[in-house]
Amino acid sequence: MTHFSLLGQAEVFHKGRIDLVTVADQESESYIKEALHAAYPEIGFHGEEGGGSVYDQGRLFVADPLDGTTNFVHGLPLFCVSIAYVVDGQPQAGVVYAPYFDEFFWAAKGEGAWHDGRRIHVSTTANLVDAELEFGFSCVRAGLKPDTMPIASDFVYRAQCIRALGSAALALCYVADGRFDGFWEYYIRPWDWAAAQIIIEEAGGKLTDFRGGPVDWRTGRVLASNGLLHEQMMAVFAERHQN
Ligand code: IPD
Ligand code: CA
């Protein structure tokens, strides 16, 4: 395992009351942006720290230079770098790298999903009661409604367990390799899920909105699963009338 030293407070800035950014986020994004521009100058770039608004058209790299910043700041090693290659809003290839664990996930359309040279597949869990699910709190943090707490309460009583690891891109890769069976989050941004979408799809799973359609980049309602659980998870959202 790779060891990293804990950050000093001087390197942490607040984007909002509890929304953090570090020098590592900024330097990682600059490096990724420059390296991709040097190799593919004709392809656009949209990163979490770089702003921009129109990003679901044309050829584009969509990057989160550090997904799981709060974990990183607290010295919890669940964080990653996520980069997607997207054409007209459709992810064509994705890479996700978790430095502490030295785990590399990638996929490209028609080429399968891979984890450190090993082909990966979603789980075979067929019933919600046997499922380990992951979710995130971005809506609560941003004060947006509806938030995830009522649906979290529904799932905690129906699934085997629910978790909130704090890095959406990494957790979605865990759905792709069968560690998790499903995932949901409200108001999640494309840099958190675009790379993982193609990784999950190539691993045999699904990533959609809460009704089974394509994710709207603006509302960011993401439901991912091994495919077998998708209908059961969608039914929980339908019951809550939160679609
Ligand atoms: C956040 C993490 C978190 C998820 C949030 C994301 P960041 O990304 O992925 O798990 O719940 O929606 O914004 O801020 O650490 O890059
Ligand atoms: Ca980030």
**Cβ pair 189, 208 in contact under 8 A:** no
Closest ligand to C-alpha of residue 138 is: 1
User: Using 50, 70 and 90 to split pLDDT, how confident is the model at 50?
Assistant: confident
- The model's pLDDT over 113-145, given as tens digits with 9 standing for 90+, comes to 999 999 999 999 999 999 999 999 877 777 778
Atom of ligand 1 nearest to the CA of 66: 16
For ligand 1, is residue 188 a contact (CB within 6 Å)? yes
Instruction: Assess whether the C-beta atom of 220 lies below 6 angstroms from ligand 1.
Output: no
What is the reported pLDDT for 62?
Answer: 95
Ligand 1 contact, 175 CB (< 6 A): no
What is the separation of C-alpha 199 from the centre of its chain, rounded to a whole number of angstroms? Answer: 11
Q: Assess contact for 167 and 67: CB atoms under 8 A.
A: yes
Q: Phi/psi class of residue 112: alpha, beta or left (left: φ > 0; alpha: ψ in -120 to 50)? A: left
- Which atom number of ligand 1 is nearest to the Cα of residue 25? 16
CB proximity list for 161: less than 8 A, separation 6 or greater? 132, 133
For the sheet containing 161-163, what is the strand order? 161-163, 132-135, 182-185, 222-225, 206-208
Residue 51 pLDDT: 57
Whole-number Å distance between alpha carbons of 14 and 186: 22
pLDDT bracket for residue 241 (50, 70, 90): low
The amino acid that residue 152 corresponds to is A
Q: Which atom of ligand 1 is nearest to the CA of 188?
A: 12
Looking at the CA of 184, which ligand is closest?
Answer: 1
Cα 32 to Cα 46, 62, 80, 187: the distances in Å are: 11, 10, 13, 25
73 in ligand 1 pocket by Cβ < 6 Å?
A: no
In this prediction, residue 17 has a pLDDT band, given cuts at 50, 70 and 90, of: confident
Q: What atom of ligand 1 comes closest to residue 70's alpha carbon?
A: 15
For ligand 1, say whether the CB of 167 is within 6 Å of any of its atoms.
Answer: yes
CA 2 – CA 99 distance, rounded (Å): 7
Ligand 1 centroid to 185 CA: how many Å?
10
pLDDT band at 3 (very low <50, low <70, confident <90, very high): very low
3-state helix, strand, coil in the chain (%, to 5): 30, 25, 40
What share of the chain in percent tops pLDDT 90?
A: 75
Q: Over the stretch 184-208, which tens digit does the pLDDT of each residue have? A: 999 999 999 999 999 999 999 999 9
Query: To the nearest whole percent, how much of the chain has pLDDT over 70?
Result: 92
Highest average pLDDT, of 15-19, 168-172, 239-243, comes from: 168-172
**Ligand located closest to 47 CA:** 2
